[in-house]
């Protein structure tokens, strides 16, 4: 049966998602310019879109795309009229690359590309956009839709990011020595930011954006394969796997959000939980509970291991939040610690800790502070105060689904 053009385009999309990061990474190593590398890869994609519907998908589509991109690179340097010696050096370097690079070379190139896209010289927004573009294979339109910003905004972020990398002459390499730890932390931060935006959308009408969670998980799993001896990489993967396991239970049949303690745990994905717990064990074997992602994964594991909400080991969770607060002091972590204390020792104990955070400037517009306080006040029977807190929280959140939950809670308080 003949393959339709639509089916071929679907195949091209799938191949691009799988192969694009490898191609861009290899080209960046060759031409030493991530912006040019992406343009060359895009040229190869356009060639596939033009040729494959008529000629059929090649047996090795990744190698086909790489070969076209390399030819475009040679043409580019010819057109640029570089010095003859430099042109010949670059042409020789490109032509000497095998059509199918060794697995170790692919791994190293991908790792270099991750560190480049997540370089601290770029803004957080730029790092996120560039990572999704270069490593996630997402289009500008898809990134804009995911983060509820205009396509032009995303395009500008990506263009500026590539210009900054070129201007600052950011090397295409894996950092070493004292630079490795902070640079790896930047990579992990970007991956988790992408996951969190998918898991709990900060704005718009959707409670979750599962595609972003899937992109972040894929990046995390790739990173775990590239850096198998780093505990925090496995800790982050464990945290994302366990949190992602709850996706089906986080919304009801009508699309309304379902909070953690009210979820049907029979809907939790046990495969993702097993993968998450295995990643957590690897993290603990390598580095113990000494990193923030590993500690957060250990907290998530307490929920995952509890058959019912009542079985949750809240005393351990409270203790883990104390450890997390020491590793990365933050008012948000203190707020989460207060929730755990309230579950372990009663709402009055939790409210005392929450009230200590009332004057914290960084939480002034954080909707979860009045939301948590409202919940604790409701449990203590202080209905009027609880209602006021839920209404205040509803006014602060930018997510429509979350706003409705808070207004509903205010109405019954």
Kindly calculate the radius of gyration of the chain based on its CA atoms and give it in whole angstroms: 24
- Rounded to whole angstroms, the Cα distance separating 176 from 173 reads 9
pTM: 0.74
Distance CA 54, CA 51 (A): 6
Dihedral of CA 165/167/172/175: which sign?
negative
Structure tokens at 130: 């560039």
Other CB atoms within 10 Å distance of the CB of residue 78: 12
- pLDDT of 83 reads 45
DSSP bridge partners of 251: 257
Residues 6+ apart with CB under 8 A from 70: 27, 30, 94, 95, 97
pLDDT block averages, 10 residues each, the chain of length 413: 75 89 90 89 92 90 92 79 54 55 63 88 90 83 77 92 91 81 86 82 60 85 87 96 93 83 94 97 92 96 95 97 94 95 96 93 90 95 94 89 88 83
pLDDT for 1 equals 46
Residue with tokens 């203590």: 380
State phi, psi for 399 to the nearest 5 degrees: -95, 125
> Is 118-170 assigned to CATH 1.10.10.10?
yes
For strands 398-399 and 203-204, give the pairing.
Answer: parallel
What is the structure's pLDDT at 175? 83
pLDDT of residue 182: 82
What pLDDT is recorded for position 401?
A: 81
**Residue 204, beta-bridge partner list:** 399
Q: Which of 320-359 are b and which e, b meaning 16 or more Cβ less than 10 Å from the residue's Cβ? A: bbeebbebeeebbbbbbbbbbbbbbeebeebbebbeebee
Question: Would you list the domain boundaries of the chain?
Answer: 1-102, 118-170, 184-287
Secondary structure of residue 203 in the 3-state scheme: strand
């Amino acid at each position: 049966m003949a393959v339709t053009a639509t089916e071929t385009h679907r195949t091209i999309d799938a191949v691009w998602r799988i192969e694009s990061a490898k191609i861009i990474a290899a080209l960046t190593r060759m031409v030493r310019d991530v912006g040019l590398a992406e343009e060359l890869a895009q040229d190869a994609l356009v060639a596939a879109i033009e040729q494959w519907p008529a000629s059929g998908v090649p047996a090795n589509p990744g190698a086909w795309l790489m070969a076209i991109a390399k030819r475009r690179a040679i043409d580019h340097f010819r057109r640029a009229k570089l010095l003859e010696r430099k042109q010949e050096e670059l042409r020789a370097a490109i032509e000497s690359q095998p059509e199918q690079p060794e697995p170790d070379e692919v791994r190293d190139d991908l790792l270099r590309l991750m560190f480049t896209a997540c370089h601290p010289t770029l803004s957080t927004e730029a790092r996120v956009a560039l990572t999704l573009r270069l490593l996630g294979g997402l289009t500008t339109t898809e990134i804009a839709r995911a983060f509820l910003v205009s396509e032009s905004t995303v395009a500008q972020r990506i263009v500026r990011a590539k210009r900054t990398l070129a201007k600052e002459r950011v090397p295409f390499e894996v950092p070493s020595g004292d630079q490795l730890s902070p640079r790896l932390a930047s990579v992990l931060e970007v991956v988790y930011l992408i996951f969190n935006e998918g898991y709990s959308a900060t704005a718009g009408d959707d409670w979750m954006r599962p595609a972003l969670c899937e992109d972040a998980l894929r990046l995390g799993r790739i990173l775990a394969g590239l850096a198998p001896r780093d505990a925090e990489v496995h800790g982050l993967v464990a945290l994302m796997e366990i949190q992602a396991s709850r996706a089906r239970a986080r919304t009801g049949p009508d699309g309304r959000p379902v909070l953690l303690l009210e979820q049907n745990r029979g809907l939790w994905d046990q495969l993702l939980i097993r993968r998450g717990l295995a990643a957590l064990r690897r993290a603990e074997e390598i580095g113990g509970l000494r990193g923030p992602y590993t500690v957060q994964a250990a907290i998530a594991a307490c929920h995952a291991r509890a058959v019912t909400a009542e079985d949750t080991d809240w005393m351990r969770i409270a203790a883990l939040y104390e450890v997390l607060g020491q590793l990365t002091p933050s008012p948000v972590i203190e707020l989460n610690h207060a929730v755990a204390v309230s579950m372990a020792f009663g709402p009055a104990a939790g409210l005392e800790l929450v009230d200590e955070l009332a004057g914290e400037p960084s939480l002034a517009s954080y909707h979860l502070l009045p939301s948590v306080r409202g919940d604790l006040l409701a449990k203590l029977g202080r209905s009027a105060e609880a209602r006021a807190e839920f209404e205040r929280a509803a006014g602060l959140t930018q997510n429509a689904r979350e706003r409705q939950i808070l207004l509903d809670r205010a109405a019954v308080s």
